[in-house]
Structure formats: C-alpha cells, structure tokens
Structure 1
Amino acid sequence: MRPGPLASLETVTGNPRPGLRRWVLSTLLLPGAREVHAELHHDGTVLLAASVSWHAAHHLAAEDLPDTGVAVSEDFIGACCRDLTNAAWELARRLRVDSALQLTATLAVVTSSPTTPTPALVPVVTGFGGFTDVPNHARHPRRIQPVTATLTPLDEAEALAGTAQELFTDVMNQFGLDPQF
C-alpha cells in the first residue's frame, strides 16, 4: 500500500507547532514537498488535508489528462482515508473519548479566483507494474459530495480498515470506479 499523507509529515514531526487548543503539522511551506496539513485538536477533532493530485500529476503523461482536468490519485485518496481513520482513532483513544466519531471525507479544488470555473477531477489509477492510467469509463466530476462513516474508539483493526474502505469506496464511486485497497 502506498504511504499516506502522514508519512509526508516525517520532516516536521520532530517539531509540531502548537496552535489554539491544537497541534499543527504542515509541509505547506517546504519547497518541493507534498502539500499536507494536519491538526490534532484538544477536543478530539482531527483535520487532515493533502494534495491528492501531486503524485498523479508527476507520474502521468500530459497527453493522458484532459485539458480542463485535475489529476487525482486513487491510491493516495485511499491512503488519506486510512490515515484519517487511524489518526482519529488514535487521538480518540488517547483522549479517552467514549462516544462514536463521525468521519467526513471530500475532495475540493482550489481555483485562482471565485469566477474561474471549477476544473473536472480526473481519477488516475495505478495498475500492475506501477503504470498509471485514466480509465475510459471513469466520470470526471467537478464536485465531490462529502461522504461520512462512523468509528468508535473501541473498534479493532478490522473495523478500522472497514471504515477507511467505506470512505474510500464512497469517494471513488462518484468517479464511477469500484476501488479495492
């Protein structure tokens, strides 16, 4: 499995920054690094934001991508779902939270101005041998609906994997794809 966005934070984990009732880890200011931002709030809230287009854009031939699209990596979206699920579970256990957690995952596109049309999101899948491709049957939506899943701090590894898979599947189904970890 591809390393998730939290692995990208290795360069800053020795120095997390305190925020207002939270710890902040970010690679946004590091040149050439994958853009990842994570926050662990004192109330148990976890925020994980990562550029899911970074890897896809670097490993896909320009002619394979529609002119008006933003490449998003199916593998890295799955890794984000796993990391979000695991981070939320670990923080909830650390804070001794005893109620269910709601996880929400979505994809968003940042445009240069509010009047700029939102580009289509183009899913890039990695096949056998590590070759990347844009499936012909995949949809290229301009917006992804937020998807949710529930998790409890008492869940074990199998339930965590199921929750992450549920988030991942619901996001990728909006592209017309049926993903597997």
Structure 2
Amino acid sequence: MPPPPQQSMPSTTRSRASSTSTPIILPRGEATLRTLERLDNLNTHITNFYAKTSTLYSSSKTSVLHSEREAAATQLKTLIEQLEKHIAEHQEAVKIVDREDILGLYVVAGMTRRDAVVQVKSDFEKVEGVVRGVRESARDMLADIVYGSDEKEGREVKGDLSGRGDAGEAEELVVH
C-alpha cells in the first residue's frame, strides 16, 4: 500500500520557517538589482538620445536650406528636453542605489572591503561623470542652436554684390 500523500505545512508555519531561514537582505538585494536594471535602461536611453541629438545637431549645422536647419533645430530642442528628463531620472535612480549593497556584492565576489570601497566609489564617479558630460555637451549644442554662435549665421558679410568689381561701393548683406 502506498504511503499517504504528505500534507503541506500550514501557511503560518511556512512563513515562520521561511522568515527564520531567509534573511531580510534578499528583498533589499532584489530592490537593488531592480534599481540597477533601471539605471542600465536609463543609460541605454541616454546613449540613444545623445546619438540622435548628435546626428540631428550635425545635420542642422550642415544643411544648405534654411528651412531644413530650422526644422532640425526644433527637433533638436525637443530631443534635448527629453534627454534632460532622462538624465534627471537617472540622477534620482543613482541616489536610490544603496552603495553598501554594491559593496557587499564586490566583497562576496572576492574583493577585500578596502578594494571594494574604492571600486564602488570609482564606479559611481564614472557613471556620474559620463552623464554630466552628456548633459554639458547637449546644453552646448542647444546653446549653439538657440543663440547661433556659428559663424555662418548672424554675421555681416561685406563684399561686392553688384558684379561690377567696385570694392569701394560694396553692399552689406546680413545672413540670418
């Protein structure tokens, strides 16, 4: 005769048993991993937006037609605003990450605590530095588009426009 099927433990016993055998660190670790995934996704978004922004900036500066330059400049402004939102969200996510959790991961991976502290600090400085560089570059592009610091636009061009060759009677042409 086969043995009777085993009954499962009541839920109160199971939760008590799991709470004593599973440390509370697991939920913290899962939260840290979710935050790191979010940071990775934000890094990807920032990289993609920056690539689009750079391409659009280049086309806005090299386009021959004024209407194309204006359209590219408008799109560029929109992209930079979106990029700024992603960067702000990234900075908030970086603040949420518990550096002690990351430190613990490095220690478990075999690093000494001292080396892990140095590595965690270096990693976060690099991430913040890259994002800061992207933000500064995007702001420079936006300023160049908005204020027209390019020499091609907004400058006065003096020269002979009559076709007669009289340099003394040159007309002024303002290119906008």
The TM-score bracket by the shorter chain reads under 0.3
Normalising by structure 1, we get a TM-score of: 0.27
Higher relative contact order (CA 8 A, sep 6+): 1
Greater share of residues in helix: 2
Q: Larger C-alpha radius of gyration, 1 or 2?
A: 2
TM-score (norm 2): 0.28
Higher strand share: 1
